[in-house]
Amino acid sequence: MAQKVIIDPVTRIEGHLKVEVEIENGKVIDAKTSGTLFRGFELILKGRDPRDACHIVQRICGVCPVSHGTASMLCLDDAFGVTPPPNGRIVRNLIQGANYLQSHILHFYHLAALDYVKGPDTAPFIPRYEGDYRLPKEINDKAVEHYIHALTMRKKAQEMLSIFGAKMPHVTVFTAGGVTEGVTAEKINQFREYLREITAFVDHVYIPDVLAVAEVYGDDGFSIGTGCKNMLAYGGIRLTDEADPDGQKQLFKRGCYINGNFETMDKNKITEQSKYSWFEDSTTDKYPGEGATVPAPGKSGAYSWLKAPRYDGVPCEVGPLARQWVNKQKDVLGLGDKAFSVLGRHFARAIETSQVAHAMFEWLGHLVPGQPTFAPFDIPKEGSGVGLHEAPRGALGHWITVKNYRIDNYQAVVPTTWNGAPRDDQGQLGPMEQALVGSPVKDPDNPFELVRIVRAFDPCIACAVHVLDVKGVAKDVKRFII
């Protein structure tokens, strides 16, 4: 008989995610991932001045404000028909790059590493699972030191971001047509000094730590959490001022890997389905630009506040592994099928952090002090725009419709909506659900395998109060907060 295990909420991620699995003969046979939080930012934006969008949407998340602000700026650029000057594009890129560095460092050390590294019996290292810490003592002790060191590196990445972004979280310099912050030689030099220190940490501490974990945990870490093996990347961080409708002139090129084939990506093939989501059925299977946010709490059969995005009808994983696979990074491709795994995701994220850090030195060299950082624009009475971006956690899209100079409709499809999606209208499981199915669970009272899989995706469910009811749980159900 199958045994049900519920983890609610999963900790050491952003936001509130519930995972429910059924285990039979020591393996997961079914899984549900549930976003348990509704905030309705799309409804908050309706009727507002479109220029406010890139500031309001940053409040979707305190960890990801740069990503949402960037996607929104791209969306407004498209709707307003404005192109940032070179300095504006580059400053945007540097802000995004700094955000990549702090986000990836945060994820490995402070969210995921404690699944592999045993710290002392004090906060923040407890409470924790016990019984599967395999690192040799010398390596483990070094990793604990690096956990502390990484706090400083993340702080410095945020300070570096603020040189051009003014503050973090919730950057104040974002605008359609570029940024409002000027460029000076002093700012360039200050940014470069931070970048040198952070890059050295990434190359000489972060990547070696990931490789050390992979060496010890590789036997199972490269085999669990496979998922759907469909990879999607919108493309992100523009490297040219020329038009780029196909998304190929970017640090991360646009593309997808569907059913074993590399393909170009067509944004018109993106839909969101809502049969198993707490939204009205009338909102299902629509292109996001034509989508609607109509909540239906208590809807029969539904189990998540996330819709189910699909590309050409299939679920797709997004994030560092998807970007590196779609862009055919040689070390990630060299893993073969082992890339589609818990450790494959950690490895791809570490490789990507170094890529971004080194690329930023070149971008700094292209800034010209004193030159404009934004282009003037007019708000159209009517118009629409799309902003496709690669957030640290994956493909992020914003869509806007303007009527009578106001926002008539705004939709955001975030990376964890892709990865943490529920079943779709055809009953296909979401990528994270598929990654959980088939996972061995040695001890249902200590299901460390499940949270390792979930945390490898770096899910981000927006911050808010979560109410947990643990009363009346059936005897055959195990419930955890871990």
How far apart are the C-alpha atoms of 104 and 353, rounded to whole Å? 7
Give percent above pLDDT 70 in the chain. 95
Q: Spell out where 126-282 has E strands.
A: 174-175, 178-179, 231-233, 236-238, 250-252, 255-258, 261-263, 270-273
Looking at residue 462, its pLDDT comes to 60
Residue owning tokens 């050491």: 12
Half-sphere exposure of 150 (CA within 13 A, CB side): 26
Gyration radius (Cα) of the chain, Å = 22
Amino acid identity at 393: R
Neighbours of 482 (CB within 10 A): 17
Q: What is the tens place of the pLDDT at every residue in 330-366?
A: 999 999 999 999 999 999 999 999 999 999 999 999 9
> Can you give the residue ranges of every domain in the chain?
3-480
Direct distance between the N- and C-terminal alpha carbons of the chain, in angstroms, rounded to an integer: 25
Cβ within 8 Å of residue 287, ≥6 positions away = 268, 270, 271
| Residue 364: half-sphere exposure toward Cβ, Cα within 13 Å | 25
Average pLDDT, the chain: 93
Confidence band, pLDDT 50/70/90 cuts, at residue 478: low
- Ordered DSSP codes for 95-151: HHHHHHHHHHHIIIIIIIGGGT----SSTTS-S---S---S-HHHHHHHHHHHHHHH
> pLDDT band at residue 480, thresholds of 50, 70 and 90?
very low
**Helix and strand totals (H; E) in the chain:** 13, 16
pTM of the model: 0.94
Instruction: Report whether pLDDT(475) > 60.
Output: no
Q: At what angle do helices 185-201 and 86-105 cross, to 10 degrees?
A: 30
User: Token pair of 253, please?
Assistant: 């090129």
Tell me the pLDDT tens digit for each residue of 377-406: 999 999 999 999 999 999 999 999 999 999
Helix, strand, or coil here: 379? coil
CATH of range 3-480; options 2.10.10.90, 1.10.238.10, 1.10.645.10, 3.10.20.30: 1.10.645.10
Instruction: Count the Cβ atoms, other than its own, within 10 Å of residue 421.
Output: 28
For residue 413, the SS3 value is strand
Residue 335 CA to its chain's centroid (Å): 22
What is the signed CA dihedral for 65, 422, 301, 31, rounded to 10 degrees? -130
- pLDDT score recorded for residue 16: 83
